[in-house]
Amino acid sequence: MKLIEFDSKYFLYKEIDNIGFGVTTANSEFGIHPKLENYDKNIKFIKEKFNLSDIFVVSQIHSDIVIECDKNFTLGLEGDGLIIREINRGIGVFTADCVPIFLFDSKKRIASVLHSGWKGTYNEIVVKAIDIFVKKYHSDVNDIVIYIGPHIKVCCYEVGEELKYKFNNHHRFQKNANIFNKNNLSLLECIKTSVLACNIPIYNLNVVDYCVHCSKDVKFYSYRNDPNSLNRIFSFIFIK
């Protein structure tokens, strides 16, 4: 993903075939959260700059629920992932340490974005999204591309013994010796383990290599850096 700028607001952004996806940064104090007064203004800014007619979000609850933005979609639905097939309509999630995950199949013209904190990662929300791609929309796993966005990485994500025990005894993660460095958890390694178990080719799995807690070149909002702030990173994807 490349750093791009609109009116002094900076985004990480990438386009592949008919898919565009981006991540807001804190380089220009561009925090986005539904409870902030500037939320509507900032969402409107993104819609205008990326030529989107709508941007859909859900009420995030640290779950493994993935919601499809079809005719039955309404505002206020609870979940932590969205899937869309309509063009020029974005979907997005809010993070501040948790992992944003982008998935898309440009051949089937289907896109998804997920909010994967430790709970979503443990419960494998990414597997739920891949299952919908494959079982409902008949995606070939060889055509599903995944980008794991900026999040708190193993360098900075120290967890307690209870959570360490939980992840070390997960039916899938326990097979990966790299999920911990002492008491520091790698959400990235956990998600990679889940993705590869779904037979997604390793070359379709990409990592946007920034830690939101310690990145200096590109700045992000991090809950562990500022737990009192409502500012969030907004990660969004759309079909052109």
Q: Counting beta carbons within 10 angstroms of the beta carbon of residue 145, is it exposed (0 to 12), middle (13 to 18) or buried (19 or more)?
A: buried
Sorting pLDDT into bands at 50, 70 and 90, what band is 70? confident
156 phi and psi angles, rounded to 5 deg: -125, -5
Give me 226's structure tokens: 């500022």
Q: What angle do CA 220, 226, 232 make, to 5 degrees?
A: 45
> Domains, the chain, ranges and CATH?
2-152+201-239 (3.60.140.10)
113 in Cβ contact with 237 (< 8 Å): yes
Query: Could you read off the pLDDT of 100-138 as tens digits, one per residue?
Result: 999 999 999 999 999 999 999 999 999 999 999 999 999
Tell me the percentage of the chain whose pLDDT exceeds 70. Answer: 100
> What are the tens digits of pLDDT across the range 26-64?
998 899 999 999 999 999 999 999 999 999 999 999 999
pLDDT digits (tens, 9 = 90+) for 117-127: 999 999 999 99
Upper half-sphere CA count for residue 111 (Cβ side, 13 Å)? 28
DSSP state letters, 135-185: HTT---GGG-EEEE--B--TTT-B--HHHHHHHHTSTTGGG-TTSEETTEE
User: Residue 179 corresponds to which amino acid?
Assistant: I
